[in-house]
Structure 1
Amino acid sequence: MTNFDPAALPAAAFEPISELGPLSRERIKTRLDARGYNYAIDSDGDIGGRWDDHIFYFLLLGKDSEYLQVRGRWSRTLPASSLGQLLVLANEWNAGRIWPKAYVRTEENETLGVYCEHSVDYEPGLTDAQLDQHLGCAISTSLAFFSSLDEQFPEAVAAAKEEIARLTAEQQ
């Protein structure tokens, strides 16, 4: 039990840093533009892009679109036989860090996909600085996890690069 009483703190501790505005796709796009990031809008209106060749989406969830979830997908795939090793790596990541949440899913053709998510409830609104921090933090920490996977699975990195080269050659 704690004796901490937030009401006993000085009033200044609760004053907002700046004006809180509602979360919206427009605000996300504005912040991505301000950072010079490239992104696209899919047919569902979702904002997405590639960072270090990994796909990220910026999703508004909840009844009033009050939750921002940044979801990244590792651009490599592994066979189902790698499930145990991937689960251990994701669990170690989740146990040792606050974010992003990392998880593994079985996808088409029984291959495994690895994802990271960083979700926050912004029902009361948020500042541009908070939105910038969320976007930057979610992308950079997800990329750190994906980089650690690249080190653990160099064969998956090589296979992904070969596939990209093949697709590029077919388009020419």
Structure 2
Amino acid sequence: MSSRRAGPSWLTRLFNPRTDDTPSEGQDGPGDNTDVELPRPLTTQRIADDLSRRGYKFRIDNDGDVTGTWDGNRFWFLLLGEHDEILQIRGRWAGNLSASSRLGVLQATNDWNRERIWPKVYARSEAYGLTLYSEVSVDFEHGATDDQLAQTVSCGLVTAAQFFASVAALTPPEISDDAR
């Protein structure tokens, strides 16, 4: 399933989410004696609602996790921990690299992890070659507001997209050494 559609790109919608409850000009906005939202427990439905507000396409997989593709890369929105209090946004790069790229890829992932907070990135050997993953994990033991959830989703998608694009620009995907 793809997140492509006519209109603004997914990245534009990420930074400018449209909601029906956004105050119009002349209406009360933040700081105008409005109710303060209290943190609420994370749920798959809350994640799905956030993605829907942004106009993203996604699905619920057989494990009950939210998943979708952004720029061809697969992402999962996982609830982890004893009480589903940890939100992890895990991305898998759409490309595969040959085993001969391993040293360069490991250097790129180490450089990224050393220089940036998010996402954590790593390489894995899989059936079709070496592939890359990203993870942003946030512990919401005491719940999250809709804004906190939206910010975490944005962080997970944007930072992973930046990493995947930087690697794609440096090392174009190759055919696995085993497939040659």
TM class by shorter chain equals: 0.7 to 0.9
Aligned equivalent of 1:36: 55
TM-score scaled by structure 2?
0.75
Matched residues in 2 for 1:19 and 1:126: separation?
8
Query: CA separation in 1, counterparts of 2:146 and 2:114?
Result: 30
Distance 2:101 2:59 in 1: 32
Are positions 1:151 and 2:169 aligned together? yes
Task: Tell me by how many angstroms 1:81 deviates.
Answer: 1.5
CA distance in 2, matches of 1:94, 1:75: 20
Quote how far apart the aligned CAs of 1:133 are. 0.3
Root-mean-square deviation (CA), in Å? 1.3
Letter paired with 1:136? S
Distance 1:57 1:63 in 2: 19
Q: Which residue of structure 1 lines up, in the alignment, with residue 72 of structure 2?
A: 53
Q: Give the structure 1 partner of residue 151 of structure 2.
A: 133
**Alignment partner, residue 46 of structure 2:** 27
Shift in Å, 1:18: 2.9
Letter in 2 for 1:74: W
2:13 match? none
How far does residue 143 in structure 1 lie from its aligned partner after superposition? 0.3
> Sequence identity of aligned pairs in percent?
46
Partner of 1:87: 106
Distance (Å, rounded) in 1 between the aligned partners of 2:102 and 2:84 = 33
Letter matched to residue 146 of structure 1: F
C-alpha distance in structure 2 between counterparts of 1:84 and 1:153, whole Å: 12
- Report the Cα distance in structure 1 between the residues aligned to 2:100 and 2:168, rounded to whole angstroms: 17
Give the drift of 1:80: 1.4
Structure 1 residue identity aligned to 2:137? S
Instruction: Give the unaligned 5+ runs of structure 2.
Output: 1-35, 176-180
Can you give the 5+ residue segments of structure 1 that lack an aligned partner in the other structure? 1-16, 160-172
Select which of 105, 116, 124 maps to 2:142: 124
Poorly superposed stretches of 4+, deviation over 6 Å: none
Whichever structure has more helix as a proportion of its residues is 1
Query: Which structure's CA Rg is the greater one?
Result: 1
